[in-house]
Copies of this chain bind each other. A is one copy, B any other.
Amino acid sequence: MRSYGQYCAMAKALDVIGDRWTLLIVRELMVLGACRYTDIREGLPGIATNLLAERLRELEAAGIVARREAPPPIATALYELTARGRQLEPLLDELGSWGLQYMSAGPAPGDQFRSRWLTWPAQQFLTDHQPQEPPVSIEAQVGEDSIVIETAPEGVRARPGTAEHPDATLSGAPHALLALLSGQLDLAAARAKGVQYSGSPAVLRRLQPLAFPASRPAAAS
């Protein structure tokens, strides 16, 4: 991208990550961890293949993404975030928190969706209220692919994939699941909007926000 030519921290940041698609590529790498070119592309419906390749090169040159030849069993390269790339997580969190206000209306006509995009609200809004209890996991899916939400020592983690023996399963329309995960709806209200939940309600209650917070919680401290 053409530099703004301003000696200002925000302008310098935008010089590096202000290009179209760039932050969404970082989002995919944040969600997926080390992954293949095609895996990234699957999470970026609408991107032109040449643009993805070009952005990955730029991100590698900027020290945000590392490209690594995979060990023999896999015949391809893997992409992953560097330490500098992982430091973009608070920025993506803020971006999502601000953008959440545009989600309550539901998907616009033609909007694409991927289950993996639910990992962000899951980690952002769910908390383990009983960390001393045995770990639990919930499998959520919409459409083909699924994600796993599970308790961990550091807190609630979410990742694409499946769980062997999930304590609960969740499915439904994207906007209903998002509303449930972000605390806009409780389980009863979400069920009324078509959400299917199987398993003990206590599992979900252990993780859910306690009340209905404002759509944009006040900045921390």
Contact = CB atoms under 8 A, between A and B. Distances in A.
B96 A94 contact: no
Contacts of A91: 91, 94-95, 98
Contacts of A4: 24, 46
Given A90-B219, A95-B91, A219-B90, A23 B10 contact: yes
Interface stretch (A12-20, A65-73, A184-192): A12-20
Interface stretch (A110-118, A144-152, A158-166, A203-211): A110-118
A10 B108 contact: no
Contacts of A24: 4, 6, 10-11, 14
Nearest to A107: B7
A7 B104 CA distance: 10
A103 interface: yes
Interface residues of A, number: 55
B13 A98 contact: yes
A9 B99 contact: yes
Contacts of A99: 8-14, 16
Query: Which residue of A7, A91, A174 has the most chain B CB atoms within 10 A of its CB atom?
Result: A7
Given A9-B95, A11-B99, A91-B91, 17 more contacts: A4-B24, A4-B46, A5-B108, A5-B111, A7-B113, A8-B114, A9-B120, A10-B99, A10-B120, A11-B24, A13-B98, A14-B23, A14-B99, A18-B20, A84-B101, A87-B98, A91-B95
5 contacts: A8-B120, A10-B27, A10-B120, A13-B98, A14-B24
